[in-house]
Amino acid sequence: MKITSKVNAVDAWICHEELAPAYDNCCLPQEKEVVLQDPAIAVLRSTQICASGLFIIDTQLAFNQPVCDKFEVSGESIIMGFYLEGEASSEITGLLKQSVNPANIHYICYTPAFKAEFRMPPHKLHRYFLVILSKEFYFRLLHQQSELHQDFAEHVLQGHHTYLSKEPLEITPEMKWVLNDIRNCQRKGPLKRLYLEAKVMELLMLQMEQWQQLQEQHPVNSMLRGNDAQRIAEARAILEESYHNPPTIQELARLVYLNETKLKQGFKASYSYTIHGYVVWLRMEKARQLLTQAQQSIGDVAYQVGYKNAAHFTAAFKKHFGFLPSEIKI
C-alpha cells in the first residue's frame, strides 16, 4: 500500500509512505513527526506510525488561505477515521459526494483505492486521526465470518466501496481515551507493536459496539420527539466539559430545555448510563489518565476530577476499577 497526502498550496508532502499489505506481527513500528512551514501554513504537525499492514496518522493543520488536501491510498484498505476538529468539505471517490464534515465524527470504510479531496477554509484548526489497515490486517482483527460486520465484510470481499454505517457516528469519550493512549505510548519495539495492535482492536470494538447499539435503538428514537435527541446530546456535552463540577439534574434539564423525567429517561436509553453514572465514568477515566501519565499525588488527582475528599475518591476508584489508585500510580 502507498499512502500519500499533499496540500495544493505547499510543495511538500504531509505523508508519503509505502508499506507491505501483509500482516506481520514481527514488523516493528516506525514513527516519525512531520512539521511543515510555509507562508500558506499557520500550523501543520503530523505524527505517523508505520508497520506492515498498519498505518496511523494523527494530524493537526491550519492554513492562511483556502487549501485542498489530496489524500490517497493505493491498494485495498479499511480506514478507521476520526475527524476531531474543524469543518472541511470532502469528496471521496466511490464513497462520498462533496459534503461538509462536522467535527467529532468517526467512520469505518473500505475502498479498493482511496482517493479523497479535503477542502479546508483558512484560519480554522483541523485535526484528524486515521488508522489505515490492509485487508489482511483487518480480517486478522475481526474474522470475515463474524456476525458483527456481515454486510460490510461481504462488500470488502467483493471489492466494493462501502461504509460500515451509512451515517457518520459521534466520537465517544471512550474512543478519545484510546486515541490519547496511542498518542502517549512510550513503549518501544515489539511491545509497542503489541500495544498498538491491542489499541486498534479496542477502537474497532468501540466503533462496532456503537454501531450495533444504534441498530437496536429504534424504540429509543420513537420515544424522543423533535429536538429531544439533540438536547440530550447537548446535556452529555455539558457533562463532559464540567464533570469535575457538574450541574444538578435540575440545572442540566433547565440548560437543555427538557423536563427532568425526559432527560433522565432519554439519557439512559441513549447512552446506557444514568446521568450520575456517566459523571462517575468521566471522572474515573480522567483520573486513570492522570495517574498513569502525570507525576501528581492521589490527592491532587482527586481534586482535579471533582473530589474534595481523597478518601471518597479512593473508594469510588476502587469500586469502579476493582483496585486502589495507589496500585496504578507510577
Rounded to a whole number of angstroms, the CA Rg of the chain reads 21
Measuring CA to CA, which residue among 112, 140, 113 is closest to residue 24?
140
Pair 40, 64: CB distance under 8 Å: yes
| Pairwise CA distance, residues 233 & 185, whole Å | 31
| Pairwise CA distance, residues 277 & 68, whole Å | 43
Residues 192 and 98 in one domain: yes
What are φ and ψ of residue 87, in 5° steps? -155, 75
Residues 207 and 263 in one domain: no
What pLDDT is stored for residue 97 in this prediction? 72
What pLDDT is stored for residue 330 in this prediction? 46
What pLDDT is stored for residue 220 in this prediction? 53
Name the pLDDT band for 170 (thresholds 50, 70, 90).
confident
Output the domain CATH number for residue 181: 2.60.120.10
| Pairwise CA distance, residues 320 & 16, whole Å | 44
C-beta neighbour count of 105 within 10 angstroms: 15
> Which residues 6+ apart lie within 8 Å of 3 measured at CB?
15, 16, 17, 18, 19, 55, 57, 72, 73, 74, 132
Residues 207 and 237 in one domain: no
Among 215, 240, 270, identify where a domain stops.
215
Residues 54 and 159 in one domain: yes
* Cell matching residue 152: 460490510
Among 194, 215, 236, identify where a domain stops.
215
34: pLDDT strictly greater than 70: yes
What pLDDT is stored for residue 126 in this prediction? 93
243: pLDDT strictly greater than 60: yes
How would you class 153 by CB atoms within 10 Å of its CB: exposed for 0-12, middle for 13-18, buried for 19 or more? buried
Residues 259 and 308 in one domain: yes
Residues 197 and 152 in one domain: yes
Output the domain CATH number for residue 242: 1.10.10.60
User: Range of 313's domain?
Assistant: 223-327
Residues 299 and 192 in one domain: no
More confident residue, 273 or 207: 207
Identify the DSSP state of 322: S
Residues 210 and 228 in one domain: no
β-bridge pairing 105-111 and 162-163: antiparallel
Domain count, the chain: 2
Q: What percent of the chain has pLDDT over 90?
A: 65
222: pLDDT strictly greater than 60: no
Residues 22 and 130 in one domain: yes
Among 215, 238, 263, identify where a domain stops.
215
| Pairwise CA distance, residues 211 & 235, whole Å | 21
143: pLDDT strictly greater than 60: yes
User: pTM of the predicted model, to two decimals?
Assistant: 0.76
- Reported as a single tens digit per residue, the pLDDT across 82-94 is 999 988 888 888 7
Average pLDDT estimate for 152-178: 90
Name the pLDDT band for 306 (thresholds 50, 70, 90).
very high
